[in-house]
Amino acid sequence: MAEKGSYTKRIDGRSFDALRPISAKVGVVPNADGSAMFSQGDTIAIAAVYGPKTLHPKNQQNPEKGVLRVHYNMLSFSVGERIRPGVSRRSQEISQVTEWALTPVVMLEELPGTVIDIHINIIQANAGTRCAGINAAAMALAHAGIPMKEMVSAVAIGKMDQTIVSDVTKEEEDYKEGEAATDIPMAYLSNSKKISLLQLDGRIQAKRLIEALDAGKKACQKIYEIQKKVLKESE
Amino acid sequence: MTKEKTEVKHGKREIVTPGEIIAKGDFLPGDWTTKEGEEIIANRFGIVDKTERLVRVVPITGVYIPRRGNVVIAEVADITMNGWIMEIKAPYQAFLMLKECPMYVDEYEMENVYGIGDLVVTKIVSVKRRAIDLTTKGRGLDKIKDGMIVEINPHRVPRVIGKEGSMISQIKIASGCDITVGQNGLIWVRGRSKEEELFAKKIIDFIVENTTSDGLTEQVEQWIKENKPKNLGKIEGKEAKEKTEEFAESSVESESQEFGEEKE
């Protein structure tokens, strides 16, 4: 897939379609109804699911289906330079896209008048935090016994100059040579073969985007297998 | 909803994740499954149960789903003019009507009967859409005044009770405690000493951890033999036996009848 370009070898020595080492665990938050930890290389996300529970205030309840709420948060020590704790513009955006990525699989019509709260905390960040968050959240939802159509897996695909790579790191995100770096986070439903999240930061040709999506689907399939395995081994 | 007997004969039960294909061909979709063409797909994380042609998923995690006839341990959340609002760890609040209380209640002094924060053993009379109605009329249904509460996941309650209450009577005999199991995952343990209650809790924790394995009754028997504290044996003389029988009279029978149909 590597065409001519300046990025011929990855900074951490991985092959272009290789993922960072993944480790995952469910049941990490004992007080939650369901929880999961998902780490890709140096990125570590913890997701906790509370609910279904009655939604208050009552005027926000939907009598036809449940409500899904996602709270994404990066802890102040998760990056090199301390970030201001609390809600930021960026974290609000990521909470929203994570909610949209997960809503298609959660069978909310089974839970009228209730709310499911998902809290995603990034305890260590090295790019791809929203993807790690979605992976952790999907596992936590399954662990919480929420009715779901299927699992969601997410990965960040990058284009470094001319080369398409899977699971980008922070160093790669900051790549400046040639056409520089493009970051494409995507969430994929492996069973129904649908995409539930697709963002793009940078520039990419239409033809190359399709190539990037194919790489992403392959990577998500690998992540899905890991999610499944970890859930099964948790009991 | 009726629950059939499971006849799985291997060491560990098959666990599925949402979206997984559990059966192909001539099968009927049961609880928490959908049929897409020829395939039966799991919609929930749990254990697969195949009874003849029916395939279903038995959940092992998640919040409590109230069912009519369940005995639950409820906490008083609020007092209203005509009853008590109860918290039963379900997604919806439950209500205990004044007339469902077996004794005479002074409307102005309802907190003397069940005050806010009190735990009460209740039974679910009806589950209508989102309203859950409770009652305290019936044997063994009353306010909890002593003992200890052990909290477990409600989906593991059937294993703690066992077939026809076999597991629960095993715990009762081993620990010497009287145990009332609420289907919502709250278990009321009442013993003569703290040690006994803690030992009962340990046995329950062991069962909960090994929910997915088969032949659990034998495993628990083995575990009790290995882990029973010595000082517990001392109390368990003649006196203890009498006590146990006394307890048994009051609750064992009624419970196994009530919960008999609810086992996995």
DSSP annotation string for B155-216:
GGHHHHH-GGGHHHHHHHHHH--EEEE-TTSEEEEE-SSHHHHHHHHHHHHHHHHTTTBS-H
B4 in a structural domain? no
A1 in a structural domain? no
pLDDT band per the 50, 70, 90 thresholds, residue A51: confident
Closest by Cβ to A145, choosing from B20, B62, B211: B62
Q: What is the structure's pLDDT at B6?
A: 42
In this structure, the answer to whether residues B221 and B247 fall within a common structural domain is: yes
The Cα–Cα gap between B149 and B181 comes to 10
Closest by Cβ to B92, choosing from A54, A144, A191: A54
Please check the confidence at residue A4 and state whether its pLDDT lies above 90.
Answer: no
* Residue B44 belongs to domain spanning: 15-59
In this structure, the answer to whether residues B249 and B194 fall within a common structural domain is: yes
Which among B135, B170, B191 is the end of a domain? B135
Please check the confidence at residue B260 and state whether its pLDDT lies above 50.
Answer: no
In this structure, the answer to whether residues B244 and B168 fall within a common structural domain is: yes
The Cα–Cα gap between B160 and B167 comes to 6
Average pLDDT over residues B223-243: 66
The Cα–Cα gap between B23 and B42 comes to 9
Please check the confidence at residue B20 and state whether its pLDDT lies above 50.
Answer: yes
Closest by Cβ to A235, choosing from B20, B32, B60: B60
Q: What is the CATH classification number for the domain harbouring B76?
A: 2.40.50.140
B1 in a structural domain? no
In this structure, the answer to whether residues B130 and B152 fall within a common structural domain is: no
List, edge to edge, every strand of the sheet that includes A114-124.
Answer: A22-26, A34-40, A43-54, A114-124, A67-74
Residues 140-179 of A with CB under 8 A from B: 142-151
- Nearest residue in chain B measured CA to CA from A150: B19
B192 in a structural domain? yes
Q: What is the structure's pLDDT at B256?
A: 39
Q: Are B130 and A143 within 8 A, CB to CB?
A: no
Is residue B217 exposed (0-12), middle (13-18) or buried (19+ Cβ within 10 Å)?
Answer: middle
In this structure, the answer to whether residues B192 and B233 fall within a common structural domain is: yes
B141 in a structural domain? no
User: CB neighbours (10 Å) of residue B216?
Assistant: 18
In this structure, the answer to whether residues B239 and B187 fall within a common structural domain is: yes
Average pLDDT over residues B109-124: 93
Please check the confidence at residue B7 and state whether its pLDDT lies above 70.
Answer: no
Q: What is the CATH classification number for the domain harbouring B162?
A: 3.30.1370.10
Q: What is the structure's pLDDT at B255?
A: 43
Please check the confidence at residue A43 and state whether its pLDDT lies above 90.
Answer: yes
Average pLDDT over residues B15-32: 92
Average pLDDT over residues A22-35: 95
In chain A, how many domains are there?
Answer: 1
In this structure, the answer to whether residues B155 and B196 fall within a common structural domain is: yes
Q: What is the CATH classification number for the domain harbouring A147?
A: 3.30.230.70
In this structure, the answer to whether residues B157 and B220 fall within a common structural domain is: yes
B226 in a structural domain? yes
A130 in a structural domain? yes
Q: What is the DSSP letter of B12?
A: B
Please check the confidence at residue A230 and state whether its pLDDT lies above 70.
Answer: yes
Residue B29 and residue B40 in contact, taking contact as beta carbons nearer than 8 Å: yes
Which residues of chain B lie closer than 8 angstroms to A150, CB-CB? 18-19, 41
Average pLDDT over residues B196-210: 91
Please check the confidence at residue B263 and state whether its pLDDT lies above 60.
Answer: no
pLDDT band per the 50, 70, 90 thresholds, residue A219: very high
B258 in a structural domain? yes
Interface of B with A (CB under 8 A): 15-20, 32, 34, 41, 43-46, 59-63, 91-93, 130, 155, 211-212
Distance separating the N- and C-terminal Cα atoms of chain B = 13
Which residues of chain B lie closer than 8 angstroms to A52, CB-CB? 63, 91
Which residues of chain A lie closer than 8 angstroms to B37, CB-CB? none
In this structure, the answer to whether residues B249 and B185 fall within a common structural domain is: yes
Closest by Cβ to B44, choosing from A51, A114, A145: A145
Average pLDDT over residues B179-183: 94
Please check the confidence at residue A93 and state whether its pLDDT lies above 90.
Answer: yes
> Would you state the torsion angle of the CA atoms of residues A30, A35, A37, A38, taken in this order, to the nearest 10 degrees?
170
A120 in a structural domain? yes
A133 in a structural domain? yes
B5 in a structural domain? no
CA distances from B156 to A116, A187, B71, B111, B159 (A): 22, 33, 15, 33, 6
In this structure, the answer to whether residues B157 and B125 fall within a common structural domain is: no
Which residues of chain A lie closer than 8 angstroms to B212, CB-CB? 235
Closest by Cβ to B18, choosing from A52, A150, A235: A150
Where is B224: in which H helix or E strand? helix B216-227
In this structure, the answer to whether residues B157 and B96 fall within a common structural domain is: no
Which residues of chain A lie closer than 8 angstroms to B92, CB-CB? 54, 113-114
A9 in a structural domain? no
Query: Which of A87-96, B71-80, B170-179, B231-240 has the lowest average pLDDT?
Result: B231-240
Please check the confidence at residue B222 and state whether its pLDDT lies above 70.
Answer: yes
Residue B181 and residue B168 in contact, taking contact as beta carbons nearer than 8 Å: yes
Q: Are B17 and A235 within 8 A, CB to CB?
A: no
Residues belonging to chain A: 235
Residues belonging to chain B: 264
Is A17 an 8 Å CB contact of chain B?
Answer: no
Which residues of chain A lie closer than 8 angstroms to B20, CB-CB? 228
Average pLDDT over residues A162-181: 91
In chain B, how many domains are there?
Answer: 3
The Cα–Cα gap between A178 and A160 comes to 8
Q: Are B43 and A34 within 8 A, CB to CB?
A: no
Predicted TM-score (pTM) of this structure: 0.86
B195 in a structural domain? yes
Calculate the average pLDDT of chain B: 83
In this structure, the answer to whether residues B155 and B246 fall within a common structural domain is: yes
Q: What is the structure's pLDDT at B245?
A: 52
Query: Which of A89-103, A205-219, B116-130 has the lowest average pLDDT?
Result: B116-130
- Nearest residue in chain A measured CA to CA from B94: A54
* Residue A38 belongs to domain spanning: 22-233
Which residues of chain B lie closer than 8 angstroms to A55, CB-CB? none
The Cα–Cα gap between A44 and A126 comes to 8
Which two structure tokens, joined as six digits, stand for B43?
């919609």
